[in-house]
Amino acid sequence: MRYLILMLLLAVNSLPVGAQSSRIEAAEVRCSSVLGIGVETSLAFCDVLIQEDPGAGITVIIPPHRGEAKLSFNLHNRHAYSEAEERGGRAYAEYTAAIAVATADGQVLARRFILSEFRSVEDLVDRVTGGAGPSGIKAIAPTGLERIFMTIPAELEQVAIVGQTLDVVRLEGRDTFSSVGRPVAIVSDVQVEYQPR
């Protein structure tokens, strides 16, 4: 019995330290276009703009780590809410936003999409502070929610999130946007899981 206990202790102690000390924490995010803070969730919402240069996108810093890291974030579509449109039955919109996660030199690590529909205020994920109106709430708000998960190679210390395209279907027709600088989506709750060095 003593021999078995000794073998188990040796096996546990021989595990790599990193396997026992993985951390999950909010990532450092450098956002060039902050939408605002959520009224209900208190999350920071950051606009994703179409960019050809990853350096102009949302930069996510990966803490010093051993091995691969894991990045996760909420991806939302972006809706301009109008109470008058909703009352008039003209609020419907379907959004498909495409984004990419890339290295600083432009190598695309992953492409992700979010498809969601808006019909009423209940479809909004949250409202955002910082508006000019009497309530201080912005008309632009996140709608739809897709939790994105991806693996970051061991050698990377940062990645960029950039927009690629946005398709919008409304009662009046369909539009596709792909011009640089156009906001196409929103990210929030960016987290990184890693083994510290």
What is the C-alpha to C-alpha distance for residues 148 and 193, in angstroms, rounded to an integer? 13
pLDDT tens per residue across all 197 residues of the chain: 444 343 334 443 444 544 458 999 999 999 999 999 999 999 999 999 999 999 999 999 999 999 999 999 999 999 999 999 999 999 999 999 999 999 999 999 999 999 999 999 999 999 999 988 678 999 999 999 999 999 999 999 999 999 999 999 999 999 999 999 999 999 999 999 999 98
Measured in whole angstroms, the distance separating CA 29 from the mean position of its chain's CA atoms is: 10
The pLDDT value recorded for residue 132 is 82
What are the counts of helices (DSSP H) followed by strands (DSSP E) for the chain? 3, 12
Q: Which CATH number fits domain 22-196: 3.30.70, 2.60.120, 3.40.50, 1.10.10?
A: 2.60.120
The H-or-E segment that residue 24 falls in is strand 23-26
